[in-house]
Chains A and B, each alone.
Chain A
Amino acid sequence: MSADQQVYARWLEWGTRIALVVLIASFVAYVFALRDPHLPPQELARLWAFPVDHYIAATGAPTGWGWLALLHKSDYLIFLAVALLGLVTVLCYARIVPVLLAQAERWRAAIAIVQIVVLLAAAFY
């Protein structure tokens, strides 16, 4: 197995593990009301049948990275896990760029860099 594939697998494994632990812990905190939610589940149930724009307008739920300001609320703690799942691939690609350059694989390093730009563009759109 090539060095880049080995490094990618290692970072992916640890990143995903951490994200899943955060997901399960934050869901337990939400279900057992260990912290107050921004929106109680019974109120959410009145809105989940409507489009996302309606839900945002009715609840004032944050868009973009606005959820970071609500991390003390149990429902938005789960967003931390979701964001970690979304960042794992970016970190893996960033980590293999120097490995690819060391292997003189310039084309693949360029593809990895463009991929990071695309993923970050999606994350900050």
Chain B
Amino acid sequence: MDWWLWPIALFAVTFAIGIVAVLAGVGGGVLFVPIVSAFFPFHLDFVRAAGLLLALTGALSAAPALLRGGLASLRLAMPLALAGSITSIVGALIGLALPTDAVQLALGLTILAIAALMWRSARPEESSPLAADALGTALRMNGLYHDAALGRDVEWRVRRTPAAFVVFAGIGLIAGMFGLGAGWANVPAFNLLMGAPLKLAVGSSGLLLSVVDTSAAWIYLNRGAVLPIIVAPSIIGVMLGAKLGARLLRKARPELVRRVVIALLLLAGARALLKGLGV
């Protein structure tokens, strides 16, 4: 295959990923890294760097509107982003130091675990806990946002903040190591673990991701793992696809989209696992 066909194919695939990611409510990185590393000739080092940068760009672009609408909260995201950004640096350094086969194998297992998590995902919690924990209160992790669907202001506070610091540190490590972004894990951690309302969890997930992925992206950039011919078409493709996905959102059948995403993750995860095993 001629070299110039690969960036074109990459643009087409990332355009499709952008559509599916919006419809399924996941970040682009979690689909990009396993799919591109499985079916394109690029080395995993370059794919992980591009995955982080496209997840970062999507999160940075969406965050201002979410912040203004009150659906993302700096109060909620800031302390946890600090924990995640420190471990994402460690994750990126580990990922770049390990042999490719080991990272590929671990990526395959992680992607299959994410697919299983999505398959068995628990029902989201819609209400905020009545009582906040001491650390969450000390850090003033509480507030109000306006829910247009309910037509009223919703008061929120959080629980299990110490456990959340550990969980977000783990998410940062995985995000940095595999370039996966972190939206797939942030939302359940905010909502199910901490009890933040679902809409606030979704909005704040992108904000937190923008900080965590920035740290890891610098490590990949400084090591020379950013290839413009992979990064630029991927970012442009995902951004354009996401715009179309947002238009299709009203007509889409969420359950069907969720199944397509799980199937894609299973396929790409299995391929990564086999590549890691040298098959």
Contacts and interface: CB of A to CB of B under 8 A. Distances in A.
Interface of A: 1-2, 4-6, 8-10, 12-13, 15-16, 19-20, 23-24, 26-27, 30, 41-42, 44-45, 48-52, 55-56, 61-65, 75-76, 78-79, 82-83, 85-86, 88-90, 96, 105, 107-108, 111-112, 114-115, 118-119, 121-123, 125
Contacts, number: 164
Contacts of A61: 224
B186 to A, nearest CB: 16
A30 B229 CA distance: 9
Contact of A30 (B60, B63, B75, B228): B228
Interface of B: 3-4, 6, 41-43, 45-46, 53, 56-57, 60-61, 63-65, 67-68, 70, 73-75, 78-79, 81-82, 85-86, 89, 96, 100, 138-140, 210-211, 214-219, 221-233, 235-236, 239
Nearest to A4: B74
A78 B232 contact: yes
Given A4-B74, A44-B227, A118 B41 contact: no
B228 A78 contact: yes
Given A86-B214, A107-B140, A6 B43 contact: no
Dominant secondary structure at the B interface: helix
B227 A9 contact: no
B218 A1 contact: no
B82 A111 contact: yes
Given A8-B74, A125-B219, A118 B227 contact: no
Contacts of B217: 82, 85-86
A6 B70 CA distance: 10
B43 A115 contact: no
B226 A82 contact: yes
Nearest to B4: A41
